[in-house]
Structure 1
Amino acid sequence: MASLNMKATLLSLLLLLVGLGIWEAMNQAPSATAGLSEYELMMGGADQEARVPPPSQVFSHAWDELSDPFYDAGPNDKGIGIQLAYSLYRVLTGYLAAALIAIPLGFVIGMSPLMHKALNPFIQVLRPISPLAWMPLALFIIRDSEGSAIFVIFICSIWPMLINTAFGVANVRTDWIKVARTHELSPLKTAFLVILPAAAPTILTGMRISIGIAWLVIVAAEMLVGGTGIGYYVWNEWNNLDLNSVIFSILMIGIVGMLLDMTLAAVTKLVQYED
Protein backbone atom coordinates (compact mmCIF):
# COMPACT_ATOMS: atom_id res chain seq x y z
CA MET A 1 0.00 0.00 0.00
CA ALA A 2 2.83 2.39 0.87
CA SER A 3 4.47 1.67 -2.49
CA LEU A 4 1.20 2.31 -4.31
CA ASN A 5 0.72 5.63 -2.48
CA MET A 6 4.28 6.67 -3.33
CA LYS A 7 3.80 5.81 -7.00
CA ALA A 8 0.49 7.71 -7.09
CA THR A 9 2.14 10.76 -5.49
CA LEU A 10 5.02 10.72 -7.97
CA LEU A 11 2.63 10.32 -10.91
CA SER A 12 0.51 13.23 -9.65
CA LEU A 13 3.59 15.45 -9.35
CA LEU A 14 4.74 14.42 -12.82
CA LEU A 15 1.35 15.25 -14.36
CA LEU A 16 1.35 18.60 -12.51
CA LEU A 17 4.81 19.51 -13.79
CA VAL A 18 3.93 18.49 -17.35
CA GLY A 19 0.71 20.51 -17.24
CA LEU A 20 2.45 23.58 -15.86
CA GLY A 21 5.25 23.20 -18.40
CA ILE A 22 2.80 23.10 -21.31
CA TRP A 23 0.90 26.07 -19.91
CA GLU A 24 4.13 28.08 -19.52
CA ALA A 25 5.40 27.10 -22.98
CA MET A 26 2.17 28.17 -24.66
CA ASN A 27 2.62 31.62 -23.17
CA GLN A 28 6.26 31.85 -24.30
CA ALA A 29 5.35 31.18 -27.94
CA PRO A 30 5.40 34.23 -30.25
CA SER A 31 2.17 36.16 -30.04
CA ALA A 32 0.15 37.31 -33.02
CA THR A 33 0.21 40.78 -31.42
CA ALA A 34 4.02 40.97 -31.49
CA GLY A 35 5.16 44.02 -33.43
CA LEU A 36 1.84 45.83 -33.21
CA SER A 37 1.90 49.37 -31.97
CA GLU A 38 0.05 50.41 -28.83
CA TYR A 39 -2.54 52.16 -31.01
CA GLU A 40 -3.08 48.99 -33.05
CA LEU A 41 -3.51 46.94 -29.89
CA MET A 42 -6.05 49.41 -28.56
CA MET A 43 -7.96 49.32 -31.84
CA GLY A 44 -7.89 45.50 -31.82
CA GLY A 45 -5.21 44.46 -34.28
CA ALA A 46 -6.20 42.03 -37.00
CA ASP A 47 -4.83 38.95 -35.31
CA GLN A 48 -4.94 40.13 -31.70
CA GLU A 49 -5.29 37.26 -29.25
CA ALA A 50 -5.88 37.15 -25.52
CA ARG A 51 -3.70 34.91 -23.38
CA VAL A 52 -4.11 33.49 -19.93
CA PRO A 53 -1.24 34.55 -17.62
CA PRO A 54 1.48 31.87 -17.35
CA PRO A 55 2.09 29.91 -14.12
CA SER A 56 5.18 31.98 -13.33
CA GLN A 57 3.09 35.16 -13.15
CA VAL A 58 0.31 33.47 -11.20
CA PHE A 59 2.74 32.02 -8.64
CA SER A 60 4.47 35.37 -8.26
CA HIS A 61 1.10 37.01 -7.64
CA ALA A 62 0.12 34.23 -5.23
CA TRP A 63 3.32 34.83 -3.24
CA ASP A 64 2.49 38.53 -2.94
CA GLU A 65 -1.09 37.81 -1.86
CA LEU A 66 -0.19 35.10 0.66
CA SER A 67 2.60 37.17 2.19
CA ASP A 68 -0.09 39.48 3.62
CA PRO A 69 -3.44 37.65 3.36
CA PHE A 70 -5.29 39.69 6.00
CA TYR A 71 -4.68 43.27 4.88
CA ASP A 72 -7.70 45.58 4.79
CA ALA A 73 -7.41 48.66 2.58
CA GLY A 74 -11.11 49.44 2.32
CA PRO A 75 -14.40 47.87 1.24
CA ASN A 76 -13.15 46.78 -2.20
CA ASP A 77 -9.59 45.89 -1.27
CA LYS A 78 -9.23 43.10 1.30
CA GLY A 79 -6.74 40.27 1.51
CA ILE A 80 -7.54 36.74 0.36
CA GLY A 81 -7.50 35.52 3.97
CA ILE A 82 -10.27 37.93 4.96
CA GLN A 83 -12.35 37.00 1.90
CA LEU A 84 -12.00 33.28 2.62
CA ALA A 85 -12.86 33.86 6.28
CA TYR A 86 -16.15 35.56 5.32
CA SER A 87 -17.02 32.71 2.97
CA LEU A 88 -16.15 30.00 5.50
CA TYR A 89 -18.23 31.73 8.16
CA ARG A 90 -21.27 31.77 5.90
CA VAL A 91 -20.76 28.20 4.75
CA LEU A 92 -20.26 26.77 8.23
CA THR A 93 -23.16 28.74 9.71
CA GLY A 94 -25.63 27.55 7.08
CA TYR A 95 -24.14 24.05 7.06
CA LEU A 96 -24.38 23.55 10.84
CA ALA A 97 -27.93 24.94 10.89
CA ALA A 98 -28.85 22.41 8.20
CA ALA A 99 -27.23 19.59 10.19
CA LEU A 100 -29.22 20.50 13.31
CA ILE A 101 -32.44 19.99 11.36
CA ALA A 102 -31.53 17.35 8.77
CA ILE A 103 -30.03 14.73 11.08
CA PRO A 104 -32.85 14.56 13.68
CA LEU A 105 -35.49 14.74 10.93
CA GLY A 106 -33.63 12.04 9.00
CA PHE A 107 -33.77 9.83 12.08
CA VAL A 108 -37.54 10.30 12.29
CA ILE A 109 -38.01 9.54 8.59
CA GLY A 110 -35.71 6.52 8.72
CA MET A 111 -37.38 5.00 11.78
CA SER A 112 -40.98 5.68 10.75
CA PRO A 113 -42.38 4.37 7.44
CA LEU A 114 -45.39 6.63 7.98
CA MET A 115 -43.26 9.78 8.22
CA HIS A 116 -41.23 8.63 5.20
CA LYS A 117 -44.33 8.32 3.03
CA ALA A 118 -45.77 11.58 4.34
CA LEU A 119 -42.65 13.73 3.88
CA ASN A 120 -41.11 12.12 0.80
CA PRO A 121 -43.28 14.10 -1.71
CA PHE A 122 -42.14 17.41 -0.17
CA ILE A 123 -38.50 16.31 -0.26
CA GLN A 124 -38.72 15.22 -3.89
CA VAL A 125 -40.28 18.54 -4.93
CA LEU A 126 -37.90 20.80 -2.99
CA ARG A 127 -34.65 18.87 -3.48
CA PRO A 128 -34.17 19.52 -7.24
CA ILE A 129 -34.66 23.30 -6.93
CA SER A 130 -31.42 25.16 -7.53
CA PRO A 131 -30.27 26.85 -4.30
CA LEU A 132 -29.69 30.10 -6.19
CA ALA A 133 -33.33 30.14 -7.22
CA TRP A 134 -34.12 30.85 -3.56
CA MET A 135 -31.87 33.92 -3.48
CA PRO A 136 -34.42 36.53 -4.71
CA LEU A 137 -37.01 35.29 -2.21
CA ALA A 138 -34.43 35.22 0.57
CA LEU A 139 -33.33 38.77 -0.20
CA PHE A 140 -36.96 39.94 -0.19
CA ILE A 141 -37.80 38.26 3.14
CA ILE A 142 -34.53 38.56 5.06
CA ARG A 143 -33.48 41.90 3.52
CA ASP A 144 -29.83 41.20 4.28
CA SER A 145 -27.27 39.92 1.80
CA GLU A 146 -25.25 37.92 4.35
CA GLY A 147 -28.34 36.34 5.91
CA SER A 148 -29.62 35.47 2.44
CA ALA A 149 -26.31 33.81 1.52
CA ILE A 150 -26.42 31.77 4.73
CA PHE A 151 -30.00 30.72 3.97
CA VAL A 152 -28.96 29.55 0.50
CA ILE A 153 -26.19 27.46 2.05
CA PHE A 154 -28.70 26.04 4.53
CA ILE A 155 -31.15 25.05 1.81
CA CYS A 156 -28.51 23.38 -0.36
CA SER A 157 -26.87 21.54 2.55
CA ILE A 158 -29.97 20.05 4.11
CA TRP A 159 -30.99 17.55 1.41
CA PRO A 160 -27.90 15.27 1.17
CA MET A 161 -27.71 15.06 4.98
CA LEU A 162 -31.43 14.41 5.33
CA ILE A 163 -31.59 11.72 2.65
CA ASN A 164 -28.40 9.94 3.75
CA THR A 165 -29.44 10.00 7.41
CA ALA A 166 -32.85 8.54 6.60
CA PHE A 167 -31.26 5.89 4.38
CA GLY A 168 -28.63 4.95 6.97
CA VAL A 169 -31.15 4.72 9.80
CA ALA A 170 -33.64 2.69 7.73
CA ASN A 171 -30.96 0.18 6.76
CA VAL A 172 -29.56 -0.59 10.22
CA ARG A 173 -29.52 -4.35 10.65
CA THR A 174 -32.77 -5.51 12.24
CA ASP A 175 -31.07 -8.09 14.44
CA TRP A 176 -29.15 -5.32 16.21
CA ILE A 177 -32.42 -3.54 16.96
CA LYS A 178 -33.95 -6.80 18.15
CA VAL A 179 -31.04 -7.29 20.55
CA ALA A 180 -31.63 -3.78 21.90
CA ARG A 181 -35.30 -4.61 22.46
CA THR A 182 -34.33 -7.87 24.15
CA HIS A 183 -32.24 -5.85 26.59
CA GLU A 184 -35.27 -3.57 27.08
CA LEU A 185 -33.52 -0.43 25.90
CA SER A 186 -35.77 2.60 25.53
CA PRO A 187 -36.29 4.00 22.00
CA LEU A 188 -34.02 6.94 22.87
CA LYS A 189 -31.21 4.68 24.09
CA THR A 190 -31.67 2.44 21.07
CA ALA A 191 -31.34 5.46 18.80
CA PHE A 192 -28.14 6.71 20.47
CA LEU A 193 -26.45 3.42 21.36
CA VAL A 194 -27.40 1.23 18.39
CA ILE A 195 -28.79 3.14 15.43
CA LEU A 196 -26.54 6.22 15.52
CA PRO A 197 -23.22 4.30 15.58
CA ALA A 198 -24.46 1.96 12.84
CA ALA A 199 -25.71 4.77 10.61
CA ALA A 200 -22.81 7.17 11.34
CA PRO A 201 -20.75 6.34 8.20
CA THR A 202 -23.76 6.98 5.95
CA ILE A 203 -24.66 10.17 7.82
CA LEU A 204 -21.12 11.50 7.48
CA THR A 205 -21.11 10.65 3.78
CA GLY A 206 -24.15 12.90 3.42
CA MET A 207 -22.40 15.60 5.43
CA ARG A 208 -19.35 15.28 3.17
CA ILE A 209 -21.52 15.69 0.06
CA SER A 210 -23.26 18.69 1.64
CA ILE A 211 -20.06 20.57 2.48
CA GLY A 212 -18.87 20.21 -1.11
CA ILE A 213 -22.16 21.55 -2.47
CA ALA A 214 -22.19 24.38 0.07
CA TRP A 215 -18.69 25.49 -0.93
CA LEU A 216 -19.71 25.45 -4.60
CA VAL A 217 -22.86 27.47 -3.97
CA ILE A 218 -21.32 30.15 -1.74
CA VAL A 219 -19.05 31.29 -4.58
CA ALA A 220 -22.02 31.83 -6.90
CA ALA A 221 -24.11 33.40 -4.12
CA GLU A 222 -21.40 35.92 -3.25
CA MET A 223 -21.07 36.85 -6.91
CA LEU A 224 -24.75 37.77 -6.85
CA VAL A 225 -24.92 39.64 -3.53
CA GLY A 226 -21.42 41.16 -3.58
CA GLY A 227 -19.74 42.86 -0.64
CA THR A 228 -17.26 40.33 0.74
CA GLY A 229 -16.26 36.72 0.29
CA ILE A 230 -14.25 34.70 -2.19
CA GLY A 231 -17.05 34.76 -4.77
CA TYR A 232 -17.17 38.55 -4.67
CA TYR A 233 -13.36 38.62 -4.82
CA VAL A 234 -13.35 36.59 -8.07
CA TRP A 235 -16.00 38.76 -9.69
CA ASN A 236 -14.40 42.01 -8.55
CA GLU A 237 -10.98 40.99 -9.91
CA TRP A 238 -12.60 40.01 -13.21
CA ASN A 239 -14.19 43.44 -13.42
CA ASN A 240 -10.70 44.86 -12.82
CA LEU A 241 -9.39 42.61 -15.64
CA ASP A 242 -6.81 41.13 -13.26
CA LEU A 243 -6.57 37.55 -14.53
CA ASN A 244 -3.68 36.75 -12.18
CA SER A 245 -5.99 37.38 -9.21
CA VAL A 246 -8.85 35.46 -10.86
CA ILE A 247 -6.70 32.35 -11.43
CA PHE A 248 -5.17 32.65 -7.95
CA SER A 249 -8.61 32.85 -6.34
CA ILE A 250 -9.81 29.83 -8.36
CA LEU A 251 -6.87 27.83 -7.01
CA MET A 252 -7.63 28.95 -3.46
CA ILE A 253 -11.28 27.92 -3.85
CA GLY A 254 -10.13 24.47 -4.96
CA ILE A 255 -7.61 24.09 -2.13
CA VAL A 256 -10.06 25.14 0.59
CA GLY A 257 -12.73 22.85 -0.86
CA MET A 258 -10.25 19.96 -0.86
CA LEU A 259 -9.32 20.63 2.78
CA LEU A 260 -12.99 20.68 3.84
CA ASP A 261 -13.59 17.38 2.04
CA MET A 262 -10.45 15.79 3.51
CA THR A 263 -11.51 16.82 7.02
CA LEU A 264 -14.88 15.10 6.75
CA ALA A 265 -13.32 12.12 4.97
CA ALA A 266 -10.96 11.67 7.94
CA VAL A 267 -13.88 11.86 10.40
CA THR A 268 -15.80 9.31 8.31
CA LYS A 269 -12.90 6.85 8.55
CA LEU A 270 -12.96 7.15 12.34
CA VAL A 271 -16.57 5.88 12.55
CA GLN A 272 -16.34 3.15 9.93
CA TYR A 273 -16.44 -0.40 11.16
CA GLU A 274 -16.11 -3.90 9.78
CA ASP A 275 -18.99 -6.35 9.95
Structure 2
Amino acid sequence: MVSAVFHAPLDPTPADAPDAHKSIAASALSTASTAKNTAKVSEAPAPRDGGALSRAFWQNVLPPALGLGLLVGLWALVSASTGRSIPSPYETWLQAVEVFSNPFYRNGPNDQGVGWNVLASLQRVAIGFGLAALVGIPAGFAIGRFAFLSRMFNPLISLLRPVSPLAWLPIGLLVFKGANPAAIWTIFICSIWPMVINTAVGVQRVPQDYLNVARVLNLSEWKVLTKILFPSVLPYMLTGVRLAVGTAWLVIVAAEMLTGGVGIGFWVWDEWNNLNVKNIIIAIFVIGIVGLLLEAALVKLATAFTFEEVKS
Protein backbone atom coordinates (compact mmCIF):
# COMPACT_ATOMS: atom_id res chain seq x y z
CA MET A 1 0.00 0.00 0.00
CA VAL A 2 2.81 2.32 0.94
CA SER A 3 4.67 1.34 -2.20
CA ALA A 4 1.59 2.03 -4.25
CA VAL A 5 1.34 5.45 -2.75
CA PHE A 6 4.97 6.51 -3.13
CA HIS A 7 5.56 4.88 -6.53
CA ALA A 8 2.41 6.11 -8.19
CA PRO A 9 3.30 8.10 -11.31
CA LEU A 10 2.93 11.87 -11.18
CA ASP A 11 0.24 13.55 -13.21
CA PRO A 12 1.34 13.15 -16.79
CA THR A 13 2.07 16.23 -18.87
CA PRO A 14 -0.84 16.85 -21.20
CA ALA A 15 -0.25 15.61 -24.68
CA ASP A 16 -1.27 18.92 -26.17
CA ALA A 17 1.40 21.01 -24.32
CA PRO A 18 2.98 22.30 -27.55
CA ASP A 19 -0.45 23.44 -28.68
CA ALA A 20 -0.90 25.22 -25.35
CA HIS A 21 2.38 27.06 -25.80
CA LYS A 22 1.33 28.04 -29.29
CA SER A 23 -1.96 29.31 -27.92
CA ILE A 24 -0.19 31.38 -25.25
CA ALA A 25 2.17 32.88 -27.86
CA ALA A 26 -0.74 33.69 -30.16
CA SER A 27 -2.56 35.33 -27.27
CA ALA A 28 0.52 37.42 -26.43
CA LEU A 29 0.91 38.53 -30.04
CA SER A 30 -2.76 39.41 -30.18
CA THR A 31 -2.45 41.47 -26.98
CA ALA A 32 0.62 43.27 -28.30
CA SER A 33 -1.15 44.02 -31.58
CA THR A 34 -4.16 45.37 -29.71
CA ALA A 35 -1.94 47.57 -27.53
CA LYS A 36 -0.12 48.85 -30.62
CA ASN A 37 -3.37 49.71 -32.34
CA THR A 38 -4.59 51.40 -29.16
CA ALA A 39 -1.39 53.47 -29.00
CA LYS A 40 -1.85 54.50 -32.62
CA VAL A 41 -5.40 55.55 -31.92
CA SER A 42 -4.30 57.53 -28.85
CA GLU A 43 -1.53 59.23 -30.86
CA ALA A 44 -3.95 60.30 -33.56
CA PRO A 45 -4.79 63.99 -33.32
CA ALA A 46 -8.04 64.66 -31.59
CA PRO A 47 -10.67 66.24 -33.77
CA ARG A 48 -10.90 69.97 -33.33
CA ASP A 49 -13.77 71.17 -31.29
CA GLY A 50 -15.70 73.93 -33.01
CA GLY A 51 -16.67 75.38 -29.65
CA ALA A 52 -13.01 75.58 -28.54
CA LEU A 53 -12.06 77.38 -31.75
CA SER A 54 -14.93 79.80 -31.27
CA ARG A 55 -13.88 80.50 -27.69
CA ALA A 56 -10.27 81.04 -28.78
CA PHE A 57 -11.47 83.54 -31.41
CA TRP A 58 -13.62 85.46 -28.94
CA GLN A 59 -10.88 85.53 -26.30
CA ASN A 60 -7.70 86.03 -28.33
CA VAL A 61 -8.56 87.58 -31.69
CA LEU A 62 -11.64 89.69 -31.26
CA PRO A 63 -10.56 91.94 -28.31
CA PRO A 64 -7.34 93.21 -29.98
CA ALA A 65 -9.23 93.72 -33.24
CA LEU A 66 -11.89 95.75 -31.44
CA GLY A 67 -9.21 97.80 -29.67
CA LEU A 68 -7.49 98.56 -32.96
CA GLY A 69 -10.82 99.41 -34.56
CA LEU A 70 -11.61 101.79 -31.69
CA LEU A 71 -8.26 103.54 -32.17
CA VAL A 72 -8.84 103.95 -35.91
CA GLY A 73 -12.37 105.21 -35.31
CA LEU A 74 -11.23 107.84 -32.80
CA TRP A 75 -8.42 108.82 -35.14
CA ALA A 76 -10.87 109.32 -38.04
CA LEU A 77 -13.19 111.33 -35.77
CA VAL A 78 -10.35 113.62 -34.65
CA SER A 79 -9.21 114.04 -38.24
CA ALA A 80 -12.70 115.02 -39.38
CA SER A 81 -13.23 117.39 -36.45
CA THR A 82 -9.93 119.24 -37.04
CA GLY A 83 -10.58 119.94 -40.69
CA ARG A 84 -8.01 117.39 -41.89
CA SER A 85 -5.11 119.13 -40.11
CA ILE A 86 -4.59 115.65 -38.64
CA PRO A 87 -4.40 113.25 -41.59
CA SER A 88 -7.03 110.54 -41.76
CA PRO A 89 -6.13 106.86 -41.32
CA TYR A 90 -6.56 106.22 -45.04
CA GLU A 91 -4.26 109.10 -46.06
CA THR A 92 -1.66 107.97 -43.53
CA TRP A 93 -1.89 104.41 -44.84
CA LEU A 94 -1.18 105.56 -48.39
CA GLN A 95 1.80 107.56 -47.14
CA ALA A 96 3.05 104.55 -45.16
CA VAL A 97 2.93 102.38 -48.28
CA GLU A 98 5.10 104.94 -50.04
CA VAL A 99 7.53 105.27 -47.10
CA PHE A 100 8.02 101.53 -46.67
CA SER A 101 8.31 100.85 -50.39
CA ASN A 102 11.96 101.96 -50.09
CA PRO A 103 12.91 102.21 -46.40
CA PHE A 104 16.69 102.03 -46.98
CA TYR A 105 17.35 104.79 -49.49
CA ARG A 106 20.17 107.32 -49.01
CA ASN A 107 20.10 110.82 -50.49
CA GLY A 108 22.64 112.36 -48.15
CA PRO A 109 23.47 112.39 -44.45
CA ASN A 110 20.21 114.09 -43.48
CA ASP A 111 17.91 112.38 -45.98
CA GLN A 112 17.75 108.65 -45.35
CA GLY A 113 15.00 106.06 -45.24
CA VAL A 114 13.13 105.12 -42.10
CA GLY A 115 14.93 101.78 -41.97
CA TRP A 116 18.34 103.42 -41.55
CA ASN A 117 16.96 105.71 -38.87
CA VAL A 118 15.52 102.81 -36.86
CA LEU A 119 18.77 100.85 -37.14
CA ALA A 120 20.80 103.85 -35.98
CA SER A 121 18.55 104.28 -32.94
CA LEU A 122 18.72 100.56 -32.13
CA GLN A 123 22.50 100.68 -32.33
CA ARG A 124 22.66 103.51 -29.78
CA VAL A 125 20.19 101.70 -27.55
CA ALA A 126 22.21 98.47 -27.73
CA ILE A 127 25.45 100.21 -26.74
CA GLY A 128 23.97 102.30 -23.93
CA PHE A 129 21.82 99.47 -22.63
CA GLY A 130 24.70 96.99 -22.78
CA LEU A 131 26.96 99.30 -20.78
CA ALA A 132 24.18 99.84 -18.24
CA ALA A 133 23.74 96.06 -17.84
CA LEU A 134 27.48 95.52 -17.39
CA VAL A 135 27.54 98.08 -14.58
CA GLY A 136 24.04 97.89 -13.13
CA ILE A 137 23.60 94.14 -12.61
CA PRO A 138 26.86 93.58 -10.67
CA ALA A 139 26.18 96.77 -8.71
CA GLY A 140 22.72 95.47 -7.83
CA PHE A 141 24.19 92.20 -6.57
CA ALA A 142 26.73 94.05 -4.42
CA ILE A 143 24.18 96.51 -3.00
CA GLY A 144 21.72 93.75 -2.19
CA ARG A 145 24.37 91.46 -0.71
CA PHE A 146 26.15 93.87 1.63
CA ALA A 147 24.16 96.05 4.02
CA PHE A 148 26.93 98.66 4.20
CA LEU A 149 26.83 99.24 0.44
CA SER A 150 23.04 99.31 0.53
CA ARG A 151 23.01 102.09 3.14
CA MET A 152 25.75 103.88 1.21
CA PHE A 153 24.15 103.91 -2.24
CA ASN A 154 20.42 104.02 -1.48
CA PRO A 155 20.38 107.82 -0.94
CA LEU A 156 22.32 108.37 -4.18
CA ILE A 157 19.96 106.17 -6.17
CA SER A 158 16.92 107.86 -4.66
CA LEU A 159 18.41 111.24 -5.56
CA LEU A 160 19.45 110.52 -9.15
CA ARG A 161 16.76 108.12 -10.36
CA PRO A 162 13.91 110.68 -10.70
CA VAL A 163 16.02 113.07 -12.80
CA SER A 164 14.58 113.60 -16.27
CA PRO A 165 16.52 111.91 -19.08
CA LEU A 166 16.91 115.15 -21.00
CA ALA A 167 18.59 116.76 -17.98
CA TRP A 168 21.50 114.36 -18.47
CA LEU A 169 21.95 115.20 -22.15
CA PRO A 170 23.77 118.55 -21.68
CA ILE A 171 26.18 116.86 -19.25
CA GLY A 172 26.93 114.28 -21.92
CA LEU A 173 27.47 116.95 -24.57
CA LEU A 174 29.79 118.83 -22.24
CA VAL A 175 31.86 115.77 -21.30
CA PHE A 176 31.96 113.81 -24.57
CA LYS A 177 31.91 116.71 -27.05
CA GLY A 178 29.69 114.84 -29.48
CA ALA A 179 26.02 114.14 -30.09
CA ASN A 180 26.30 110.37 -30.54
CA PRO A 181 28.25 109.59 -27.32
CA ALA A 182 26.02 112.05 -25.47
CA ALA A 183 22.91 110.14 -26.56
CA ILE A 184 24.52 106.83 -25.52
CA TRP A 185 25.45 108.37 -22.16
CA THR A 186 21.85 109.48 -21.64
CA ILE A 187 20.58 105.95 -22.37
CA PHE A 188 23.16 104.50 -19.99
CA ILE A 189 22.38 106.74 -17.03
CA CYS A 190 18.61 106.38 -17.41
CA SER A 191 18.41 102.62 -17.99
CA ILE A 192 20.84 101.62 -15.25
CA TRP A 193 18.48 102.33 -12.34
CA PRO A 194 15.82 99.64 -13.02
CA MET A 195 18.50 96.97 -13.25
CA VAL A 196 20.28 98.10 -10.08
CA ILE A 197 17.09 98.37 -8.03
CA ASN A 198 15.42 95.15 -9.18
CA THR A 199 18.59 93.10 -8.83
CA ALA A 200 19.25 94.47 -5.33
CA VAL A 201 15.67 93.75 -4.27
CA GLY A 202 15.96 90.21 -5.61
CA VAL A 203 19.16 89.61 -3.62
CA GLN A 204 17.58 90.96 -0.45
CA ARG A 205 14.59 88.64 -0.85
CA VAL A 206 16.65 85.46 -1.04
CA PRO A 207 15.55 83.33 1.97
CA GLN A 208 17.97 83.61 4.86
CA ASP A 209 17.89 79.83 5.28
CA TYR A 210 19.75 79.46 1.99
CA LEU A 211 22.52 81.74 3.17
CA ASN A 212 22.66 80.00 6.53
CA VAL A 213 23.19 76.66 4.81
CA ALA A 214 25.95 78.22 2.68
CA ARG A 215 27.60 79.52 5.85
CA VAL A 216 27.42 76.10 7.49
CA LEU A 217 28.93 74.46 4.41
CA ASN A 218 31.61 77.17 4.36
CA LEU A 219 30.93 78.05 0.72
CA SER A 220 33.01 80.74 -0.91
CA GLU A 221 31.42 84.02 -1.96
CA TRP A 222 31.68 82.94 -5.60
CA LYS A 223 29.81 79.72 -4.85
CA VAL A 224 27.15 81.65 -2.97
CA LEU A 225 26.79 84.01 -5.93
CA THR A 226 26.61 81.37 -8.66
CA LYS A 227 24.76 78.56 -6.85
CA ILE A 228 22.35 80.44 -4.57
CA LEU A 229 21.96 84.12 -5.42
CA PHE A 230 21.96 84.04 -9.22
CA PRO A 231 19.21 81.39 -9.69
CA SER A 232 17.02 83.08 -7.08
CA VAL A 233 17.57 86.62 -8.37
CA LEU A 234 17.19 85.82 -12.07
CA PRO A 235 13.43 86.63 -12.28
CA TYR A 236 13.97 90.01 -10.59
CA MET A 237 16.99 90.74 -12.76
CA LEU A 238 15.10 90.01 -15.99
CA THR A 239 12.25 92.25 -14.83
CA GLY A 240 14.78 95.04 -14.38
CA VAL A 241 16.17 94.36 -17.85
CA ARG A 242 12.70 94.61 -19.38
CA LEU A 243 12.02 97.91 -17.65
CA ALA A 244 15.44 99.23 -18.62
CA VAL A 245 15.11 98.46 -22.32
CA GLY A 246 11.72 100.20 -22.41
CA THR A 247 13.27 103.24 -20.74
CA ALA A 248 16.20 103.18 -23.16
CA TRP A 249 13.90 103.16 -26.19
CA LEU A 250 11.91 106.08 -24.78
CA VAL A 251 15.03 108.08 -24.00
CA ILE A 252 16.71 107.66 -27.39
CA VAL A 253 13.76 109.19 -29.24
CA ALA A 254 13.84 112.31 -27.06
CA ALA A 255 17.64 112.55 -27.15
CA GLU A 256 17.80 112.28 -30.94
CA MET A 257 15.28 115.09 -31.32
CA LEU A 258 17.80 117.39 -29.66
CA THR A 259 21.09 116.02 -30.95
CA GLY A 260 20.20 115.50 -34.62
CA GLY A 261 21.98 113.12 -36.96
CA VAL A 262 20.45 109.82 -38.03
CA GLY A 263 17.81 108.19 -35.85
CA ILE A 264 14.08 107.77 -35.48
CA GLY A 265 13.87 110.72 -33.06
CA PHE A 266 15.69 112.97 -35.50
CA TRP A 267 13.41 111.73 -38.28
CA VAL A 268 10.35 112.79 -36.27
CA TRP A 269 11.79 116.23 -35.62
CA ASP A 270 12.89 116.67 -39.24
CA GLU A 271 9.43 115.75 -40.50
CA TRP A 272 7.93 118.29 -38.10
CA ASN A 273 10.20 120.97 -39.52
CA ASN A 274 8.92 119.96 -42.96
CA LEU A 275 5.30 120.03 -41.64
CA ASN A 276 4.84 116.44 -42.79
CA VAL A 277 2.35 115.24 -40.18
CA LYS A 278 1.71 111.95 -41.98
CA ASN A 279 5.30 110.86 -41.51
CA ILE A 280 5.17 111.91 -37.85
CA ILE A 281 2.19 109.61 -37.29
CA ILE A 282 4.00 106.83 -39.17
CA ALA A 283 7.02 107.36 -36.95
CA ILE A 284 4.83 107.08 -33.84
CA PHE A 285 3.59 103.68 -35.01
CA VAL A 286 7.13 102.58 -35.91
CA ILE A 287 8.39 103.55 -32.44
CA GLY A 288 5.54 101.67 -30.82
CA ILE A 289 6.00 98.54 -32.94
CA VAL A 290 9.76 98.42 -32.31
CA GLY A 291 9.19 98.87 -28.58
CA LEU A 292 6.59 96.10 -28.67
CA LEU A 293 9.01 93.75 -30.42
CA LEU A 294 11.76 94.51 -27.91
CA GLU A 295 9.36 93.82 -25.06
CA ALA A 296 8.19 90.56 -26.64
CA ALA A 297 11.78 89.39 -27.17
CA LEU A 298 12.64 90.04 -23.52
CA VAL A 299 9.47 88.30 -22.34
CA LYS A 300 10.55 85.26 -24.36
CA LEU A 301 13.97 85.45 -22.77
CA ALA A 302 12.46 85.74 -19.30
CA THR A 303 10.14 82.76 -19.75
CA ALA A 304 13.03 80.66 -21.03
CA PHE A 305 15.15 81.24 -17.91
CA THR A 306 12.64 81.57 -15.08
CA PHE A 307 10.44 79.24 -13.10
CA GLU A 308 6.93 78.11 -14.00
CA GLU A 309 5.24 80.46 -11.52
CA VAL A 310 7.08 83.39 -13.09
CA LYS A 311 6.02 82.35 -16.58
CA SER A 312 2.36 82.47 -15.56
Identity of aligned residues (%): 43
SS at match of 2:105: coil
Q: Per-residue CA shift, 1:66-100, capped at 9, x if unaligned? A: 22111111122111110000100111100110010
How far apart, in 2, do the equivalents of 1:274 and 1:23 lie? 40
How far apart, in 1, do the equivalents of 2:148 and 2:56 lie? 48
**1:201-240 counterparts in 2 under 5 A?**
201-240=235-274
How far apart, in 1, do the equivalents of 2:180 and 2:162 lie? 23
**1:180-259 counterparts in 2 under 5 A?**
180-259=214-293
**1:1-275 counterparts in 2 under 5 A?**
3=55, 7-24=59-76, 27=79, 49=83, 51-273=85-307
The AA in structure 2 aligned to 1:237 is: E
Aligned residues: 257
The AA in structure 1 aligned to 2:65 is: L
- In 2 relative to 1, CA 27–138 (structure 1 residues): closer, same or farther, beyond 3 Å? closer
Normalising by structure 1, what TM-score? 0.87
Residue 236 of structure 1 and its aligned partner are, at CA, apart by 0.3
- In 2 relative to 1, CA 180–76 (structure 1 residues): closer, same or farther, beyond 3 Å? same
The AA in structure 1 aligned to 2:62 is: L
- In 2 relative to 1, CA 103–10 (structure 1 residues): closer, same or farther, beyond 3 Å? same
- In 2 relative to 1, CA 176–246 (structure 1 residues): closer, same or farther, beyond 3 Å? same
SS at match of 2:103: coil
Native 8 Å contact 2:78 2:86 kept in 1: no
Native 8 Å contact 1:131 1:152 kept in 2: yes
Q: Per-residue CA shift, 1:222-265, capped at 9, x if unaligned? A: 00101110000000001101111000000000000111111111
How far apart, in 2, do the equivalents of 1:144 and 1:272 lie? 40
Native 8 Å contact 1:111 1:169 kept in 2: yes
Q: Which protein is bigger by CA-based radius of gyration? A: 2
The AA in structure 2 aligned to 1:16 is: L
Q: Per-residue CA shift, 1:149-172, capped at 9, x if unaligned? A: 000000001111001111101111
The AA in structure 2 aligned to 1:253 is: I
How far apart, in 1, do the equivalents of 2:57 and 2:226 lie? 37
How far apart, in 1, do the equivalents of 2:259 and 2:238 lie? 30
Residue 270 of structure 1 and its aligned partner are, at CA, apart by 2.0
How far apart, in 2, do the equivalents of 1:84 and 1:238 lie? 17
- In 2 relative to 1, CA 26–210 (structure 1 residues): closer, same or farther, beyond 3 Å? closer
The AA in structure 1 aligned to 2:295 is: D
How far apart, in 1, do the equivalents of 2:172 and 2:135 lie? 19
The AA in structure 1 aligned to 2:109 is: P
SS at match of 1:51: coil
Native 8 Å contact 1:197 1:271 kept in 2: no
SS at match of 1:75: coil
Residue 183 of structure 1 and its aligned partner are, at CA, apart by 4.0
Instruction: Return 162-171 or 173-182, whichever deviates more.
Output: 173-182
Which one scores higher on RCO, CA 8 angstroms, separation ≥ 6?
1
The AA in structure 1 aligned to 2:129 is: Y
CA RMSD of the aligned region, Å? Answer: 2.1
- In 2 relative to 1, CA 167–64 (structure 1 residues): closer, same or farther, beyond 3 Å? same
Runs of at least 5 residues in structure 1 that lack an aligned partner in the other structure: 32-48
Residue 128 of structure 1 and its aligned partner are, at CA, apart by 1.5
